[in-house]
Amino acid sequence: MNIKNLYIALCFLFIGNSFAQQTPAPSQTSDVTIEGGTAHLGNGKVIENALIMFSNGKITHVGNANSKIARRGTVINASGKHIYPGLIAANTSLGLAEIDAVRATRDFDEIGTMLPHIRSIIAYNTESRVVETMRPNGVFIAQVTPRGGRISGTSSVVQLDAWNWEDAVMKKDDAIHVNWPNALSRGRWWLGEDPALKPNKNYQKNVDKLVSYIKEAKNYLNGNRNSKSLPYEAMEGLFNGKQKMFIHVGGQKPITDAITVMKETGIKNIVIVHGQEAEKVADLLKSNNIPVVLERAHRLPNLEDEDYDLPFRSAKILSDAGILVGLGMEGDMERMSTRNLPFYAGTYAAYGLDKEKALQIITENNAKILGIDNVTGTIQVGKDATLFISKGDALDMRTNILTDAFIQGRKLSLETHQTKLWKRYSNKYKNN
């Protein structure tokens, strides 16, 4: 190798190291005890002066620090601080794209309309620099979800400190995502059409196409397999109850239609995503035990006659109606904005939802909706030691400053390329 090629190789090595994500934390080898902090368990309960211990990645004790129990391993004094379960983001394309403006980095939307066999987990990038920015805010788990088409594909649930997708996955192929047809449409103003909302004349036609496809898949799975169909086979979990169908839908009529139609096709395990106007069909949702994954509250009302603050109060309205409510992140800048998950929950708290219930929608509730509540979502004996310590309220961006963080008992580094830049330029101005 000549000197020129050597320089080029060293240059690429330096660039690769400078842009690579930090190495995942090693497995827990010694016990950890956290005492003295205020523990927010994620199920609505709070323990003042708490004592929490975990070993081999699992929580072994949750109680009061005044109890006469021997502390084990490394003892962390959390006095004056707050302890929370790791936060869970539903319905996000985190790890499926890196730079929105660079098409080659976007891998969340495949060509086609009916794509139940597309698996997002295969495309999940554990080396994403966006992913590492989640951890300093306490976001440790995410449902990685595809976009596009009528049936987008299959999501999976991952923890955000891993070497590869096989290490990251917590629940593989948990749900198939369907984009329900819009009952309303806007005219194309650039063609001189009226841009106001009006009934979509193709609504029922599009619904019929979707229903026909689902029935064809069911017929295929019932034994009429003339030729192999990967898309139809991918839908088997919807009919045997092993998978959920996440229906991305808004509007009173579309939500009602979606629930009615899916019950008729034999798919009962469904989740409503977005759910604008879900409060108008709260009784239907509750009677069918259907959860709702809301989107971020920071948006305008959908209709002109809605209250200006309805998006901010929706979580409280649905929770008060007895509906299981979670929080998703789909929308503009969704991958980068996922790190703000706790602050979006805090917005719902600011508009009437009890603070512990607001925490619950991004911990226990999301865990239940994603089917991982047996291992995470709350600080509870036997569950994964996925939790963090914050100097203040985790739902307030001014006070959510993490001091310690753990995923499955592994102690995380809270350093990212963003914190490095912050320290770098903070020092610059200190020296001037």
What's the distance, Cα to Cα, between the start and end of the chain in Å? 45
Q: Report residue 400's pLDDT band, with 50, 70 and 90 as the boundaries.
A: very high
Q: Judge whether residue 16 has pLDDT over 70.
A: no
Q: Judge whether residue 69 has pLDDT over 60.
A: yes
CA angle 157, 163, 167 (to 5 degrees): 40
**DSSP tag of 88:** E
Question: Cα 375 to the chain's mean position, in Å?
Answer: 16
Q: Judge whether residue 15 has pLDDT over 60.
A: no
Q: Judge whether residue 35 has pLDDT over 90.
A: yes
Q: Judge whether residue 4 has pLDDT over 50.
A: yes
Question: What number is the average pLDDT over the span 209-225?
Answer: 91
3-state SS assignment for residue 213: helix
Return the exposure string of 366-394: e unless at least 16 CB atoms fall within 10 Å of the residue's CB, then b.
bbbbbbbbeebbbbbeebbbbbbbbeebb
Torsions phi, psi for 33 (to 5 deg):
-125, 130
> 28 near 55, Cβ under 8 Å?
yes
> Model confidence over 272-316: pLDDT tens digits?
999 999 999 999 999 999 999 999 888 888 877 888 889 999 999
Give me the count of residues in the chain.
Answer: 432
Q: How far apart are CA 391 and CA 398, in angstroms?
A: 10
Torsions phi, psi for 354 (to 5 deg):
-55, 140
- Higher-confidence residue of 16 and 111: namely 111
Residue for token pair 């194309």: 188
pLDDT of residue 171: 97
Predicted structure pTM score: 0.91
Q: How far apart are CA 157 and CA 172, in angstroms?
A: 6
The amino acid present at 76, given as its one-letter code, is I
Domains within the chain, CATH numbers bracketed: 23-86+378-414 (2.30.40.10), 87-376 (3.20.20.140)
Q: Judge whether residue 388 has pLDDT over 80.
A: yes
Of 16-20, 60-64, 248-252, 394-398, minimum mean pLDDT range: 16-20
In 3D space, the residue among 115, 53, 84 whose CA is nearest the CA of residue 345 turns out to be 84
Pairing of strands 197-199, 244-249: unpaired
